[in-house]
Structure 1
Amino acid sequence: MEESIDRKLLVRFMQGKCNAEESILVKKFLLQPKWQRALDELLDEDFKNFEVDLPDEELSNAWNRRFQEKYIADPVRPLWRRPWLGYAAACIVMFSIGLYFFNTNKTAGEKQVVAAMLQTLNPRGQRSRILLPDSSVVYLGAESRIRYPEKFGLGNREVSLTGEAFFEITKDRAHPFIIHTGEVQTKVLGTSFKVDAFEGKNLSVSVATGKVQVSKKIAGTDSLQSLAVLVPGQVVKWNVKTQTAAVDIVDAEGVRDWKDGTMTFVAASVSDIAENLERWYNVKINFEDRKTANYHVSLIVKGTDPLTHTLDIICNTTHLHYKIKGHTVNITKKGG
C-alpha cells in the first residue's frame, strides 16, 4: 500500500518543529516525485489561505482525506501537474524620488497617502541588520541594497532587493510580505528564508522555516506565474537566461546560519566561492589559470575568520597557492 503523510506533520515541518525522526520521514516523503507533485498542488491551493498554524482536528482530517482520495485511492490516475495559475498583483507600487503612493477609499472621496522610502546599501566587506516597520528583521549581505517604506500601508508589505539577504518576517495574515527582485517576487506571511538576487546573476530562494511562494511577473500584464511553493529545506533556482525554474533540496540549518555570518558550500566551484569571498572581505581574487577556478570543493566559511583561513583550506584541498597584496589575491598552481 502507498505511504501517505499527515498534514499536521507537514505543518510542524514547515515551522521547524519536527524532531530528527519526523524530519527524516518528511524529507523521504518529499524526495518521491509522485508525492512532490501532489504536495505542490495541495500547497498551491492551500497557499491562497496562507495557513501555517497547526490546523484543528477537523481541518487536518479533511486535508488527509482529500490527499488520500486524490493521490492514493485512484492509482490509475496520472499525477500531471495542473497549469500554474497566475495571481493578480495585490497592489501596484510606484517608486519615484524616494516616495510611493497608494489609494484608500475609506470615504466617498479618494484619499492619497504618502510614505517616505528608505534605502540601505551595503558596500563590499559590510553586512548589516535592519529592523523593518513591522518588526520583521532583514540581514542584508555585502554589496546588497534594500528599499522599504518608512511605514507600511494598509495593503501588502512590500520591499525591493538587489543582492542577498536573509528575512525573518513578522507574521501578519492580513498583510502578506512581498520581496521584489526584478521579474521575480517572493510572497510570505511569516517565515524565514534567504534570497539571492544579484543583477545579471541567477536568482535563488531558500527556505528555513514556513512556506514561501515564488512567482514571475508576466511581461505586459499585472499577472503572475507561480514558479514554486517552497517548504523548509527547499530552494528554487531561477535561470535568467533560459527563463526556467528548478526546485532542489537545501540544508535548512545552513540557510539559517548565513544570517550569523556562516556560508556553506557543497560541491561549489572555486570561482563561485571566490565571488562570495570578494563581497564579504572586500578583495579582488584573480586566477592565473582559469581552469583552476572550475575546481569544486565543499567547505564552511565563517565570516569572523580571517580570509587567509579560508584560502588555506581551499588551496590545500585543490593544490593551489595564493599570494595577497593589499586588497588583491592572486591564486596560482603550486610550483607556478
Structure 2
Amino acid sequence: MNEACTPEEHAQVKKWLDLPGSREELDQILLESWEASPDDSEDEAVDRMLDNIHREIRPSHKIRPWKPSAGLLKIAASFILLGLVSLGLFRYSQQEEPVVEETLTVYTKETRVGEKLRIRLPDQTYVVLNANSKIEFDSDYGKAKRMIKVSGEAFFDVASNEKVPFIVDSGELQTTALGTEFNVFSRDGLEKIALTEGKVKVEIEDLPAAETKFLEPGQMATLKENAGEISAASFDPLILTAWKEGRIRFKRSSLKDIVANLQTWYGVEIQVQKSINLNRKVSGEFNNESLENILEGLSFSMGFQFEINENQVSITN
C-alpha cells in the first residue's frame, strides 16, 4: 500500500489475517499503538476500520496453522496505523485556527501647565490643546469611527468624512461631528461644547435621546456634573477661542475666573488675600503678553497689588 513491504510479505499478512485468533491479536497491537487517543470519535473510527478489514479479508479454506513473525505483525499494523494517522491529520487540518484578538494601542498627547500644543491627527484633523490638557485615541481611530477623549480644553478643526463620524468624549458628554470646528472644555465636573462652524450633536452618555442637543455656530452646550440636563446658550467665539491664538480676552469676567485661567495658562499658583472681592468683574484683552504685564493691567483697573516669586503669585490690597 505504501511500498513498505514486498508482495510476498503482503500475501503472508493476508494469509495470517484469515487464521483463527489473528484478528484479536491485530486488535491488541492496534490498541497498544493507539492507546493515547483521547477522543471517542477516534475510537469509533478505529472500530469501523477494523470491521472493514475483517469484511474485506473473507475466511478461506483451512490451511496449516502458521504464526507470522514480529516484523510481519508490524507491517499488518502499519496498514491500519497509516489510515489512522491520515485520519488524525485530516481532523487536525479541519480544526479552526484560534482567534487572536488584536490589542489596541492607545496614543496620548498632553500639555503641562503653561504649555499649548498643535496636533495633526491621522485623518488630517487639527487639534489645538490648551495648557494642562490631554487627548487620547487608539489604533482603531479612523476605521469605523474617529473617537477622541478630552480632559482639559481643546479646539478641533475636523476633517470632513461623512462615512466615519468624529466623536469627542469629554466625560459625561459625547459630541458627534462630520466636518466642523468646535471647542471642548472639561474641567472639575464642568463640560462645555462651543461650536464655531458646521453642526454637531451633543448628548449625555447612557441617557435617552431626549437629552440630545444639535448646535448651530455660535451656540454652546453646557453640562454641570451630575446635572443630567444640557443647557444651550450663545457665546462670543472671539473671546472663547482666543487662547489658541495666544490671546487672552476677558469680557465682564469675575476675578475668580480670571485667576483660575491665569494659573492654568502660566503654570503658577496665585494666592488672593481674603479681603479682595473675587466677584468683581472686568473686561480686557492681552495679546501674547507676559503674566507680569497682565497682572499690571488688572491691578490698575481693580486696585490691588501683586508680587511674583517664581511660580508663586500673591495678590493683596
TM interval, shorter chain, is 0.5 to 0.7
Tell whether the 8 Å contact from 1:215 to 1:226 is kept in structure 2 after alignment.
Answer: yes
Query: Are the equivalent residues in 2 in contact too, given 1:141–1:163 (CA < 8 A)?
Result: yes
- In the TM superposition, residue 157 of structure 1 has moved relative to its aligned partner by 0.4
**Structure 2 counterpart SS, 1:175:** coil
Q: Which structure 2 residues correspond to residues 301-312 of structure 1 after superposition, within 5 A?
A: 301-302=286-287, 304-312=288-296
Aligned pair 1:210/2:198, yes or no? yes
Q: Given the two structures, how large is their TM-score scaled by the length of structure 1?
A: 0.61
Q: Secondary structure at the match of 2:258?
A: helix
3-state secondary structure, aligned to 2:203? strand
What letter corresponds to residue 227 of structure 2 in structure 1?
A: T
Contact preservation (8 Å) 2:201, 2:215:
yes
Structure 2 vs 1, CA of residues 118 and 237 (structure 1 numbering), >3 Å: closer, same or farther?
Answer: same
1:190 aligns with 2:179: yes
Q: Please give the secondary structure, in 2, of the residue aligned with 1:294.
A: coil
Q: Per-residue deviation at 1:271? A: 1.2
Please give the alpha-carbon distance, in whole angstroms, between the structure 2 residues aligned to 1:256 and 1:275. 17
Aligned to 1:235: 220
Greater relative CO, 1 or 2 (CA 8 Å, sep 6+): 1
Q: How far apart in 1 are the matches of 2:162 and 2:316?
A: 54
Measure how far apart 1:150 and its partner are.
Answer: 4.1
Specify the SS of the correspondent of 1:316.
helix
Counterpart Cα distance in 1 of 2:229 and 2:138: 31
Select the structure that is richer in helix.
2
Whole-angstrom distance in 1 between the partners of 2:258 and 2:175: 25
Aligned length: 220
User: Which residue of 280, 292, 297 corresponds with 2:277?
Assistant: 292
Q: Aligned partners of 1:164 and 1:112: how far apart in 2?
A: 34
Amino acid paired to 2:307: K
Distance 2:119 2:275 in 1: 38
Contact preservation (8 Å) 1:178, 1:187: yes
**CA RMSD after TM alignment:** 2.1
For 1:59-138, list aligned pairs within 5 A.
113-138=102-127
Kindly tell me: are residues 168 and 153 of structure 1, through their superposed partners in 2, closer, same or farther at Cα, counting changes over 3 Å?
A: closer
Of Structure 1 and Structure 2, the greater strand share is in 1
Deviation of the 1:254 alpha carbon? 3.4
Aligned partner of 1:327 among 300, 311, 315:
311
Aligned amino acid, residue 156 of structure 1: K
Q: How far did residue 276 of structure 1 move?
A: 1.0
Q: Is the 8 A contact 2:211 2:230 kept in 1?
A: no
Q: In the aligned structure 2, how far is the partner of 1:285 from the partner of 1:228? A: 37
Counterpart of 1:176 in structure 2 is 165
CA distance in structure 2 between the partners assigned to 1:175 and 1:290 by the alignment: 54
**2:266 counterpart residue number:** 281
User: Stretches of 4+ moved more than 6 A in 1?
Assistant: none
Larger Rg: 2
Cα deviation 1:43-90 (Å, max 9, x = unaligned): xxxxxxxxxxxxxxxxxxxxxxxxxxxxxxxxxxxxxxxxxxxxxxxx
| 1:14-69 deviations in Å (ceiling 9; x for gaps) | xxxxxxxxxxxxxxxxxxxxxxxxxxxxxxxxxxxxxxxxxxxxxxxxxxxxxxxx
d(CA) in 2 for partners of 1:307, 1:283: 9
Q: CA deviation at 1:289?
A: 1.7
8 Å contact 2:276–2:316 — kept in the other structure? Answer: no
Residue ranges of structure 1 left out of the alignment (5+ in a row): 1-108
What's the offset of the Cα at 1:290?
5.8
Mapped pair 1:314 → 2:276: no
Q: Which one of the candidate residues 144, 160, 165 is aligned to 2:154?
A: 165
Q: 1:152 to 1:292 in 2, by over 3 A?
A: same
Alignment of 1:32-47 (within 5 A): none
CA distance in 2, matches of 1:188, 1:111: 33
Shift of 1:273: 1.0
State how far apart, in whole Å, the 2-side matches of 1:206 and 1:290 are.
Answer: 35
SS of the counterpart of 1:331? strand
Query: Are the aligned partners of 1:213 and 1:229 in contact in 2 as well (CA < 8 Å)?
Result: yes
